[in-house]
Amino acid sequence: MKEKEKVFHSKGIYKLLYTLAGLLMAVAFLFNSPTEIFNGLITIIKSPCTLITDYMYLANIGSAFFNAGLICLLSTLLSHNFKVVISGPGVAAIFTMTGFAFFGKNIFNTIPITIGVLIYAKIENTSRASVILPALFGSALGPLISEIAFNSSLSPVHSIIISYLVGISIGMIMVPLSGTFLRFHQGYNLYNMGFTAGIVGMLYVGILRMFNVTIKSVNLVYPVNDIRIIIFLYLLFISIFLLGFVKNNLSFHGYQNIMYNSGRLATDFIALDGLYQTMINMGIMGLIATSYIIIVGGNISGPIIGGIFTVTGFSAFGKHPKNTIPILIGVFLASILNTVNPLSTSSLLAALFGTTLAPIAGEFGFFRGILAGFLHMAMVLNIGVVHGGVNLYNNGFSGGFVAGILVPVFSEMDNFLMRVRLKNDD
């Protein structure tokens, strides 16, 4: 894609993101009054918000939607202010920020990590535009900041100061570490920053535990389906699909090119295959993710909305039906065979966020993708304890290890089979 075309598409994407932010904030008032929303936002900001803290349960539905819209707006404004040319990675980052603003991210706990990343850019004399997206993804450790600020035995002022210093220090190391850890899974774990955040979170939580600071696990989840939320999600994703479909001359022309990609990092569908084809893919993937939860009988809670938004965002940056459905099947099979309730929020999140391993299915095939999903379920249910729930991208942490194990094995298997074929041909 030519540079002028990238800039043209970027302007259109910014308009769509601003529209999404405004829509989420407007929808909030269909659920709650302005006073309820404001009070709920205060509750959200003052919460430790470790996994799993559903803002729809903690405060109310309207506050959760308004918080998501606000985070979407601020993330878009930040990117726009630093003149980031938005493409696939940017869409993935802002949709992920928006989704996690339903459970874990808020204005208070995302700021210090962003400041830390910007300080890193200043020290390294790097363009700030080049680090904005890592700054957005890096806010995965927001709950650690909130935990120190609002669940500490220190005075409120001291707790907040220390929490922000910790957040800034995290931001300063996330960018260089993410590049190093990418090599571990070779780009087959789409949530690379989640893997990085898991390692960093493990270190910081380990330090806290040295001084007898405990982080309590929570499971606050909105317990029932609200038909209004389901209707909103379907209308949103149908609209994204139709907008792309209409702009693409009422056709799927070029969409098949997306399906041919393995999705391995970094696969920017907008740059490679076009904005409108990517919007078609995003709409389809949003509908698939939402329908999966409904079909298996799950509840659409705040964390589930976060998972659906993340799947949709990464449908501009690596995910498509061909490489995600095998992962969903694998996680579902594991969830009905193990001792954990397959309809629990943890099981449903493992399915949605387990699609971080989509490149494995895209590269190594359908059945190996099912195996990756199955093993991801085993890993993700047991790995959160090491970081105490402060890494919101826990599935990205798990996915890094699963990819790190499977990719070398699958590659060796393929090399062996190729040698056997060559020998037989001789």
DSSP structure string for 179-190: HHHHHHHTT--S
Confidence class for position 99, pLDDT limits 50, 70, 90: very high
Angle at the Cα of 340 from the Cα atoms of 288 and 322, rounded to 5 degrees: 25
Residue 19: both structure tokens together: 């529209």
**Omega before 266 cis (within 30°)?**
yes
User: Which stretch, 7-16, 199-208, 417-426, has highest mean pLDDT?
Assistant: 199-208
Q: What is the mean pLDDT of residues 42-65?
A: 95
Residue 220 pairs with which residues in a beta bridge?
A: 53
CB-CB contact of 185 with 400 (8 Å): yes
- Specify the pLDDT at position 2: 59
Are 383 and 394 in contact, with CB atoms under 8 Å apart?
yes
pLDDT of residue 6: 67
Are 360 and 262 a contacting pair, CB within 8 Å? no
The pTM is what?
A: 0.95
Mean per-residue pLDDT for 391-413? 95
pLDDT of residue 380: 94
Are 15 and 77 spatial neighbours (Cβ–Cβ below 8 Å)?
Answer: no
pLDDT at 94 exceeding the cut of 90: yes
What's the average model confidence in pLDDT over 110-134?
94
Q: What is the pLDDT of residue 314?
A: 98
C-alpha 307/C-alpha 203 separation (Å) is 26
34: buried, middle or exposed (CB in 10 Å: 19+, 13-18, 0-12)? exposed
Which pLDDT score is estimated for 3?
Answer: 61
Give phi and psi for 220, each to the nearest 5.
Answer: -100, 105
DSSP reduced 3-state for 101: coil
Three-state secondary-structure class, residue 400: helix
- Mean of the per-residue pLDDT values of the chain: 94
The pLDDT > 90 percentage for the chain reads: 87
CA distances from 426 to 305, 422, 423 (A): 55, 6, 5
Residues 136-174: pLDDT tens digits? Answer: 999 999 999 999 999 888 899 999 999 999 999 999 999
Report CA-CA distances (Å) from 37 to 42, 43, 300: 9, 10, 20
Over the stretch 365-384, which tens digit does the pLDDT of each residue have? 999 999 999 999 999 988 98
pLDDT bucket at 424, cuts 50 / 70 / 90 = confident
